[in-house]
Amino acid sequence: MRARLSRAALGALLAIALPRPASALDLAQPDVREFVEQVVEHDHLPRAWVENVLAAAEPKPAIIEAISKPAEHVRPWFEYRAVFLTERRIREGREFVVAHAPELAAATRDSGVPGEIIAAIVGVETSYGRIMGSYRVVDALATLAFGYPPRASYFRGELEQFLLLAREARFDPLKALGSYAGAMGACQFMPRSYRAFAVDANGDGRIDLWSSWPDIIASVAHYFAVHGWRAGEPVAAVADLWNPDVEELPSGRVDLNASIEALRAKGLSFGTPLAADAPAVFVALRDADSPEYRVGFHNFWVITRYNHSAMYALAVADLAAAIAAPGPGEPALATTRGAHR
């Protein structure tokens, strides 16, 4: 990890009161007091350390504004897709796959997840590690845990996990940077996912999702493997609607709520090597000129475990396909292992 403390320094942090910023979190606030009691009693975290960390957290109004209108909720598909399917991002994705070929090959061998899918996740999340977020994670999580009622319970849980992670990994919780939602590193794991799915792939005794590419790549692959990725199966297919009874085809959900056979019977035409009884989901998208239809399969659903958005999953699949496709006069990438479309 980027920000680390020695055991001695961590102990000192418990004893020394940190300067309190003018806009610091109010420790007397009832829900903050309740949270402190919970983590001290349930997780056996030192009270002085918890209070010092929270007292240094600064609520950020900009975070509330950002989380209230995420891109996949306010942009139509054609604009959302255009953000991620740029010439630069595709080119850098191919460069990433070449630069990290050994790590990607190892991750694919262990998990079955294609190297270009892993690359596409890192490309969509952080432009291959170039943009990992500039908010202090403690500020982001404290802001949302105690200032965003619609999801306060979820973010209190993530704040708890972050404190546990900081203590286990011995890093300074006041220096770790991430997204406005508290996601960390090149693959943007939330604290709970970091603790549950991150992998020490290079065997150095610590897990670093900010700067260790072996750890980053293996952790993304492990996340998908745990959530049921099926090697060699496609993610999604482009579809035509020849019997336009859209009301009979519920869209917008990411559950696999139908089968390939059922969707075809209701008016969709699409190609796939999967069996007729394989689960599938219909996705209707708003394109610039006309609707666009896709059918997602099991691996589509797996990608939505990373981000519960159909548009996100399709952007990842499309970017992975573009990365894997050879350019003019170029051979196919050696690490490609599966279909995406």
Based on the domain organization, do 96 and 139 belong to the same domain? no
Question: CB neighbours of 292 closer than 8 A, spacing ≥ 6?
Answer: 77, 238, 284, 285, 286
| Residues 142, 138: Cα–Cα separation, whole Å | 6
Indicate which residues carry an active-site annotation.
125
Chain centre distance of CA 114: 17
Based on the domain organization, do 304 and 168 belong to the same domain? no
Nearest to 211 by CA among 4, 13, 47, 66: 4
Asked whether residue 69 is domain-assigned, the answer is no
Cα three-residue angle 212-215-220, rounded to 5 degrees: 125
Q: Which tokens hold the place of 329?
A: 């006069």
User: Where a domain ends, among 163, 195, 226?
Assistant: 226
| Residues 309, 317: Cα–Cα separation, whole Å | 13
Please name the helix (run of DSSP H) or strand (run of DSSP E) that holds residue 293, with its range, or none.
strand 291-296
Q: Are strands 236-241 and 258-259 parallel, antiparallel or unpaired?
A: unpaired
Domain range for 273 is 76-128+230-341
Tens-digit pLDDT string for the chain (341 aa)? 444 444 444 444 444 444 555 578 999 999 999 999 999 999 999 999 999 999 999 999 999 999 987 766 668 899 999 999 999 999 999 999 999 999 999 999 999 999 999 999 999 999 999 999 999 999 999 999 999 999 999 999 999 999 999 999 989 999 999 999 999 999 999 999 999 999 999 999 999 999 999 999 999 999 999 999 999 999 999 999 887 665 556 555 667 888 999 999 888 999 999 999 999 999 988 777 788 899 999 999 999 999 999 999 999 999 999 999 976 666 666 554 545 65
| Residues 31, 224: Cα–Cα separation, whole Å | 35
Based on the domain organization, do 237 and 216 belong to the same domain? no
| Residues 38, 197: Cα–Cα separation, whole Å | 24
* Residue 330: count of CB within 10 angstroms of its CB: 9
Q: How many domains does the chain fold into?
A: 2
The total number of residues shown for the chain amounts to 341
User: Where a domain ends, among 226, 255, 290?
Assistant: 226
Question: Counting beta carbons within 10 angstroms of the beta carbon of residue 182, is it exposed (0 to 12), middle (13 to 18) or buried (19 or more)?
Answer: buried
